[in-house]
C-alpha cells in the first residue's frame, strides 16, 4: 500500500539557534522579538522543550515567559537563518527520491510506495540529523491527516504509526479536538450534540452532522474521526497564497491619523514583497486588535487584480474604515491575498 509520512522538525526555530549556540543545548531557550524579554508586546515564537516544561509556549508575551522561566536565554528571531535551514532539510528529503509536499519551514509530507515505512522513517531521521544536526519526528499512515496526528505521538525525535489496526484503540477515547482540523468552535458545537470523543464522532449519525455543520464539514469531520483523509502527496512547489505584515504598538493608538499611516505603511511593505515575487493581488484584508484583545479581520476584493500601489493602499484604508473603533488599537495587520500562478490575472502598472 502507498504510505504517507509526515516529517515535523522538532522545536525547529530553537533547534536552529542551538545548532549555532551548542553551549545552550539542554538549557531553556526562548526565541522571539529582538531577544529582549523586557520588550513590550513581543511574543514567544518558539521555546525549547526545557522552556516548555516551565510553562512557556509560542504566542506567550515575552515578559510573561521571563517570569515563568527567568533562567532562560532569550534570542532574537532570525527568519533568514530559518529559511536556510528549512531549504537544507527539504533538499535532503527530496534527495530520498519520493514525492515531497512542503507545508512550511518545519514540516512536509512524503508519499512512499514501500514495504517498510518504518525503515524509511528511521532513515529520514538519521539523514536529517546526520547532515544538519536537527532532529525530526515522523508520523506514518495512509493519509495526511492521520499521519499528522501520528507525528504528535512520536515527538520528540521519534516515529509513530497510525492505521486501521490501531486508530480507534489509540484515538477512540480522546477528545475530538485531538483530530487535526477540528478546532475549538467545532468541538463546542459537537459537545452540544453530546459528542465529545473521537469514538463518539465516528459513531455519530451522518444526517445529524450534515444538518448541523453542512454537508461538506459534517461529512468531513466524520471522515476524520474514522481515520480518513487526503492521500495525495503533491510534488508541486509550495506557493504562498498570501503575504502579510502585522505590527503591535508599544502604546495603544487612539489617533486615527496614526492608525491610517500604519495601515498605509503595512500595505506598502507587504505589496513590495508581492511585486518582488512577481505575484498579483486579488484581495486586501485588514486585521485590528483592540486594547481589550478583541480581534477582527475584514476583507475586500479588488475590482481588478493587480499591483498598483495606490489601488492597494486605498483598498486597505477603505477596509479599515469599516471598523468601529471604539477602543484603543493594540495591533494592526494587512494581508494581501494573491492570484495563484495558474490563474490568469490582469496586472496594472505600479
- Quick check: 94 and 80 in contact, CB under 8 A? no
Identify the residue whose cell numbers are 444538518.
211
Q: Which residues contact 331 (CB under 8 A, 6 or more apart)?
A: 246, 247, 248, 249, 287, 288, 289, 295
| 299: helix, strand or coil | strand
Catalytic residue among 50, 107, 119, 207: 107
DSSP state of 237: P
Phi/psi at 177 (5° precision): -65, -15
| 161: helix, strand or coil | strand
Task: Tell me the pairing of strands 29-31 and 73-75.
Answer: parallel
**Kind and range of the H or E run holding 318:** helix 309-320
H helix intervals, 35-183? 49-52, 62-68, 79-94, 117-132, 144-154, 167-171
Residues 88, 304: Cα–Cα separation, whole Å: 38
Task: Round the CA-based radius of gyration of the chain to a whole number and report it.
Answer: 22
For residue 311 the three cell numbers come to: 489601488
Nearest to 145 by CA among 27, 216, 224: 224
Nearest to 108 by CA among 116, 120, 99: 99
**Residue 44 forms beta bridges with which residues?**
none
Catalytic-residue membership of 107: yes
Q: Which residues are catalytic?
A: 107
Amino acid at each position: 500500500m502507498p504510505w504517507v509520512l509526515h516529517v515535523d522538525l522538532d522545536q525547529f526555530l530553537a533547534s536552529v539557534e542551538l545548532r549555532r549556540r551548542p553551549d545552550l543545548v539542554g538549557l531553556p531557550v526562548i526565541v522571539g522579538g529582538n531577544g529582549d524579554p523586557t520588550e513590550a508586546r513581543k511574543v514567544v515564537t518558539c521555546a525549547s522543550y526545557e522552556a516548555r516544561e516551565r510553562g512557556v509556549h509560542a504566542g506567550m508575551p515575552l515578559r510573561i515567559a521571563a517570569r515563568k522561566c527567568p533562567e532562560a536565554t532569550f534570542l532574537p528571531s532570525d527568519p533568514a537563518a530559518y529559511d536556510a535551514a528549512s531549504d537544507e532539510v527539504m533538499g535532503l528529503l527530496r534527495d530520498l527520491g519520493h514525492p515531497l509536499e512542503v507545508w512550511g519551514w518545519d514540516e512536509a509530507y512524503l508519499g512512499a510506495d514501500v514495504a517498510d515505512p518504518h525503515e524509511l522513517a528511521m532513515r529520514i531521521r538519521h539523514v536529517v540529523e546526520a547532515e544538519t544536526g536537527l532532529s525530526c519526528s515522523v508520523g506514518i499512515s495512509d493519509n495526511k491527516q492521520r499521519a499528522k496526528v501520528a507525528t504528535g505521538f512520536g515527538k520528540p525525535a521519534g516515529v509513530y504509526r497510525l492505521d486501521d489496526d490501531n486508530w480507534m484503540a489509540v484515538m477512540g477515547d480522546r477528545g475530538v479536538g485531538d483530530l487535526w482540523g477540528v478546532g475549538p468552535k467545532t468541538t463546542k458545537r459537537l459537545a452540544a450534540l453530546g459528542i465529545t470523543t473521537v469514538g463518539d464522532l465516528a459513531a455519530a449519525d451522518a444526517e445529524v452532522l450534515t444538518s448541523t455543520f453542512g454537508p461538506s464539514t459534517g461529512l468531513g469531520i466524520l471522515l476524520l474521526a474514522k481515520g480518513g483523509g487526503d492521500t495525495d502527496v503533491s510534488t508541486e512547489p509550495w506557493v504562498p497564497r498570501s503575504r502579510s505584515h502585522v505590527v503591535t504598538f508599544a502604546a495603544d493608538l487612539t489617533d486615527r491619523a496614526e492608525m491610517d499611516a500604519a495601515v498605509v505603511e503595512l500595505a506598502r511593505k507587504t505589496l513590495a514583497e508581492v511585486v518582488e515575487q512577481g505575484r498579483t493581488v486579488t484581495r486586501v484584508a485588514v486585521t485590528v486588535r483592540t486594547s481589550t484583545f478583541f480581534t477582527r479581520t475584514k476583507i475586500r476584493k479588488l475590482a481588478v487584480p493587480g499591483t498598483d500601489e495606490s489601488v492597494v493602499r486605498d483598498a486597505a484604508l477603505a477596509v479599515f474604515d469599516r471598523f468601529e473603533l471604539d477602543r484603543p488599537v493594540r495591533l494592526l495587520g494587512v494581508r494581501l491575498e494573491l492570484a495563484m500562478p495558474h490563474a490568469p490575472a490582469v496586472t496594472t502598472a505600479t
